[in-house]
A and B are shown apart, each in its own frame.
Chain A
Amino acid sequence: MNSSERKKSAGWDDQRIELIIGTLLRAGVLLSASVVSLGGIVYLARHGHTIASYRAFHGDLSSLRSCSGIAHGVMQRSGRAIIQLGLLLLIGTPIARVVFSALAFARERDYLYVAFTLAVLAVLLFSLLGAKP
């Protein structure tokens, strides 16, 4: 097999992988948007009449800064926690894409790109798990 033939078949494979990735991303976005909407309805029904004030930053006091804090809030059916869960799913969507890309490159036996993809994944996981509140 000469190099141009190999390129052609690799191109076809890449094309198919990209199609699957596109669908994966769209599903992730739709799922997270649904969860955010659900949480939004709960939040507005309970707190819609209160006064909104975001002039000052109180984020460092929020309990919704960690996965365990969000899980705890969702158990108590807090609207804000459900929204945050949806946002967590949204952040997870491109990460799922990177995981899938690593598997796809492994199937193509393109180990250089498996290494590149795992490097990206390491940075993403470091951000999500390594950053302490």
Chain B
Amino acid sequence: MSVLLFTVLVALGSLLAGFLGSLTGLGGGVVIVPLLALVFHVDMRYAIGASLVSVIATSSGAAAAYVREGFSNMRIGMFLEIATTIGALAGAFIATRVATSTIAIVFGCVLVYSAYLSIRSRPADSVDEKQDRLARVLNLDGDYPASDGQVQHYTVHRIPLGFGLMFGAGTLSGLLGIGSGAVKVLAMDQAMRVPFKVSTTTSNFMIGVTAAASAGVYLARGYIDPGIAMPVVLGALAGSMLGAKVLVNTRTKPLRWVFSAVIVVLGFEMIFNGFTGRL
């Protein structure tokens, strides 16, 4: 395959991944690595490196739109980024020391689990007005515009648990070159009882900083190859911006099922190829 054809095909694939990733809220990174590794036979290390920089692009590109909605909580984000960046650094170091087939197996498991998280029905936001002492000290509580135009106040709970989960999310991000937004949302929404909208937008903010923490290690190890990263970054960025534009008037539920099915198939293929040593 010529460089030109490779570039065009990878850019188109990344565009589709970024588009579907932003429509379903799963992020494009989870499909880009399997796409590069399984379809284009790119070495796992190059695939992870290209995916990681595309994650920085899509999360930063979407931030401006999220901010206008007024949901994200800067303090929650910054506090938890201590955990995600240290985790990401640890993940990137682990990535340079374990076999690529092991990374492929872990990646496959994360894919299957993300699909499960995406299609299960989300438990309703539990309103717990009891003040948490640590949240008060850290000034983490906030307000957000509810659907009826009222300002809804919320308090944050179980901060140590959320902090620990965020360390795990960071490690996965650094190990696999993904944003691991699903785990970040889980930590805030389920563990810390942050309202769902606030969790998703704050998570988007955190993804870029988390990815930047492992990018330095990836760059120094030669994981970031310009020939692959160029079409991936540009394609995923264009796709996610397109996705954000049509998101407002699209029913995402059927799409989410289709996307989740694709992710499960890719996940099992990654696991299989990891065990047989082909990745």
Contacts and interface: CB of A to CB of B under 8 A. Distances in A.
B189 interface: no
Q: How would you classify the secondary structure of chain B's contact residues: helix, strand, loop or mixed? A: helix
Contacts of B64: 22-23, 25-26
Contacts of B234: 33, 36-37, 40
Contacts of A112: 138-139
Contacts of A101: 74, 78
Interface string A89-131: 0111111011001000000001011001101100110111111
Contact of B230 (A40, A50, A124, A132): A40
Interface residues of A, number: 74
Given A52-B3, A119-B82, A32 B57 contact: yes
A54 to B, nearest CB: 4
A124 B214 CA distance: 8
B67 A48 contact: no
B154 interface: no
Interface of A: 7, 10-11, 14-15, 17-19, 21-23, 25-26, 28-29, 32-33, 36-37, 39-40, 43-44, 47-52, 54-62, 64-66, 79-81, 83-84, 87-88, 90-95, 97-98, 101, 110, 112-113, 116-117, 119-120, 123-124, 126-133
Given A21-B67, A44-B4, A83-B229, 16 more contacts: A14-B74, A26-B64, A40-B231, A44-B7, A54-B42, A56-B43, A59-B224, A65-B219, A80-B227, A84-B224, A88-B219, A90-B53, A91-B216, A119-B82, A123-B213, A131-B221
Contacts of A44: 3-4, 7
- DSSP class of A's interface residues: helix, strand, loop or mixed? helix
A131 B95 CA distance: 14
Given A21-B67, A29-B57, A29-B237, A91 B219 contact: yes
Given A40-B7, A52-B227, A116 B219 contact: no
Contacts of B88: 127
A86 B221 CA distance: 18
A97 B43 contact: no
A54 B230 contact: no
Contacts of B213: 123-124, 127
A44 B222 CA distance: 21
Interface stretch (B23-31, B116-124, B204-212, B246-254): B204-212
Contacts of A83: 226-227, 229-230
B169 to A, nearest CB: 15
A74 to B, nearest CB: 12
B43 A91 contact: no
A84 B215 CA distance: 12
B2 to A, nearest CB: 6
Interface string B184-206: 00000000000000000000000
B57 A120 contact: no
Contacts of B224: 59, 64, 84, 87
